């Protein structure tokens, strides 16, 4: 049996959880009898709604942090954890946590090495853990999946990983990310009390998302559009105090509004209600929100950092994430030039359609089959 570690989905770990759940769902849909699910349950864990509960499961009753430390200590002490998955023929860790197994091929998905590029943007303990664990996990995995060419380049650069060991398999927007109907948009407008005109950022609030510069650019753009608001859909991550202090200090509380975590089914309507999506991140391993915006028919102004150009292709309008004036100029241009907006909307729908979870599952299955000699 091939075990898929879906711990990130069980603990709702933002983008990692989405990847884990959607890849597992696509793999199981294709060959339901081939897979089992593994996860650490902990106190707050919840089995994902998008996965079939009848799938064979094995779990450990440890919280996220104790489990991560146990796995690292297992590697350091060369203690195999095979008894947790005694019938495993292959194990796939879908996040940065490789189970130590003996005699079982393992696949590790690496989403990014952002902690290497921006160490100050991580909490100290998390940075220490990743710095200790990731080189070890990458060395011991039988094969590595990178979610973008950018992440593959980082693996080669920082850890000297053999490029032949790394296969790029792209993510995709979930099937429900489609252009919303006018009724769907009207529903979320009432439910979330949305302003008439707003910019939308989708993602966890943390320093790498570059939201302080987005605030600066937003204030420049508001000189021409005083009714413009900025909405942030996503949970609070870490090191976000400066961002919220800035909103309060500059009196932006009435026009900058964090929505917090938004139910997946409501996101297409909110995306469709926006005047424009803005993703100004300093770096992304993949940048799934760009595809989610485009699949819903929304135009995206995005930074040209990391994997964004891979994901957005010719459809997104790019800017230097460090250049506030350039960011503001790109946003203003897209709000003004309706012809460019319409052209990028059409290109975005085409671009999003190039990515699918069925394709990701097929490419991932090919890696499994190669390792198992099939």
DSSP 233-257: ES-B-SS-HHHHHHHHHTT-TTTEE
* Structural domain includes residue 152: yes
Contacts of 311 (CB under 8 A, 6+ apart): 148, 170, 284, 286, 287, 288, 290, 291
Quick one: CA dihedral 233, 236, 242, 244, positive or negative? positive
Same domain, yes or no: 346 and 363: no
Note whether 154 and 188 are same-domain residues. no
- Spatial neighbors of 171 by CB under 8 A, at least 6 apart, are 18, 19, 22, 23, 147, 286, 288, 291, 355, 357, 360
Supply the CATH number for residue 14's domain.
3.40.50.2000
Kindly state whether residues 141 and 247 are assigned to the same domain. Answer: no
pTM for the full model? 0.91
- Phi, psi (5° rounding) for residue 256? -115, 120
Q: Same domain, yes or no, for 310 and 267? A: yes
Instruction: Please name which of 261, 263, 265, 288 lies closest in space to residue 184, comparing C-alpha atoms.
Output: 265
Element (H, E) at 79: none
Number of structural domains the chain divides into: 2
Instruction: For residues 239 and 122, give the distance between their C-alpha atoms in angstroms, rounded to a whole number.
Output: 8
Same domain, yes or no: 194 and 282: yes
Q: What is the pLDDT of residue 106?
A: 98
Domain-located, residue 332: yes
pLDDT at 255: 92
- Residue pLDDT, tens place only, 108-128: 999 999 888 887 766 778 889
Q: What pLDDT score was predicted for residue 237?
A: 63
CA atoms within 13 A on the CB side of 195: 18
CA of residue 208 relative to chain centroid, distance: 13
Parent domain of 227 = 182-353
74-100 as b/e, with b when 16 or more CB fall inside 10 Å? bbeeeeebbebbeebebbbbbbbbbbb
State the Cα–Cα distance between residues 208 and 284, nearest whole angstrom: 9
Same domain, 52 and 154: yes
Give the model confidence (pLDDT) of 307-345 as tens digits: 999 999 999 999 999 999 999 999 999 999 999 999 999
Distance, in Å, from the CA atom of 142 to the CA atom of 166, rounded to the nearest integer, reads: 10
CB atoms within 10 A of CB 1: 15
pLDDT at 250: 83
Please identify every stretch of the chain with a pLDDT value under 50, giving residue numbers as ranges.
none
Same domain, 101 and 147: yes
- Residues 236 and 133 grouped into a single domain: no
131 and 238 housed in the same domain: no
For residue 251, what pLDDT is reported? 81
Strand 166-168 to 300-303 pairing:
unpaired
> Is 177 contained in some domain?
no
Same domain, 29 and 162: yes
The dihedral built from the CA positions of residue 130, 131, 132 and 137, taken in this order, carries a sign that is positive
Residue 283 φ/ψ, nearest 5 degrees: -170, 140
Which DSSP state fits 312?
Answer: H
**The predicted structure's pLDDT at residue 186:** 95
pLDDT of residue 64: 85
Long-range pairs of 262-266 with CB within 8 A, sequence gap ≥ 24: 262/192, 262/233, 262/234, 264/174, 264/176, 265/176, 266/188, 266/191, 266/192
pLDDT in tens, 244-287: 788 888 888 889 999 988 888 999 999 999 999 999 999 998 98
């Amino acid at each position: 049996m091939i075990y898929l570690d879906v711990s990130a989905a069980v603990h709702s770990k933002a983008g990692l959880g989405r990847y884990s759940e959607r890849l597992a769902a696509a793999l199981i849909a294709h060959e339901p009898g081939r897979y089992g699910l593994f996860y650490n349950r902990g106190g707050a864990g919840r089995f994902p709604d998008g996965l079939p509960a009848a799938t064979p499961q094995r779990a450990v009753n440890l919280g996220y942090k104790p489990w991560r430390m146990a796995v690292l200590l297992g590697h350091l002490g060369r203690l195999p954890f095979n008894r947790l998955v005694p019938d495993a023929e292959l194990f796939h860790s879908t996040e940065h946590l490789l189970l130590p197994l003996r005699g079982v091929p393992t696949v590790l998905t690496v989403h990014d090495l952002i902690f290497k590029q921006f160490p100050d943007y991580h909490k100290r303990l998390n940075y220490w853990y990743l710095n200790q664990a990731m080189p070890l996990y990458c060395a011991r995995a039988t094969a590595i999946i990178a979610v973008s060419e950018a992440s593959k380049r980082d693996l080669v650069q920082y850890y000297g990983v053999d490029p032949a060991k790394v296969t790029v398999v792209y993510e995709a927007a979930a099937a429900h990310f489609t252009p919303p109907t006018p009724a769907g948009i009207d529903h979320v407008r009432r439910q979330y009390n949305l302003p008439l005109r707003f910019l939308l950022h989708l993602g966890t609030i943390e320093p790498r998302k570059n939201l302080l510069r987005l605030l600066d650019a937003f204030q420049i753009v508001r000189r021409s559009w005083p009714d413009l608001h900025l909405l942030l859909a996503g949970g609070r991550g870490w090191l976000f105090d400066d961002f919220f202090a800035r909103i309060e200090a500059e009196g932006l509380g009435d026009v900058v509004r964090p929505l917090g975590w938004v139910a997946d089914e409501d996101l297409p309507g909110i995306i469709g209600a926006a005047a424009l999506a803005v993703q100004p991140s300093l770096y992304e391993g993949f940048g799934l929100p760009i595809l989610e915006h485009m699949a819903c028919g929304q135009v995206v102004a995005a930074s040209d950092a990391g994997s964004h150009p891979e994901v957005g292709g010719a459809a997104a309008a790019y800017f230097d994430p460090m250049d506030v004036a350039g960011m503001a100029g790109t946003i203003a241009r897209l709000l003004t030039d309706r012809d460019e907006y319409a052209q990028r909307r059409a290109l975005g729908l085409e671009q999003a359609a190039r990515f699918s979870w069925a394709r990701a599952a097929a490419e991932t299955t090919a890696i499994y089959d190669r390792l198992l000699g099939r």
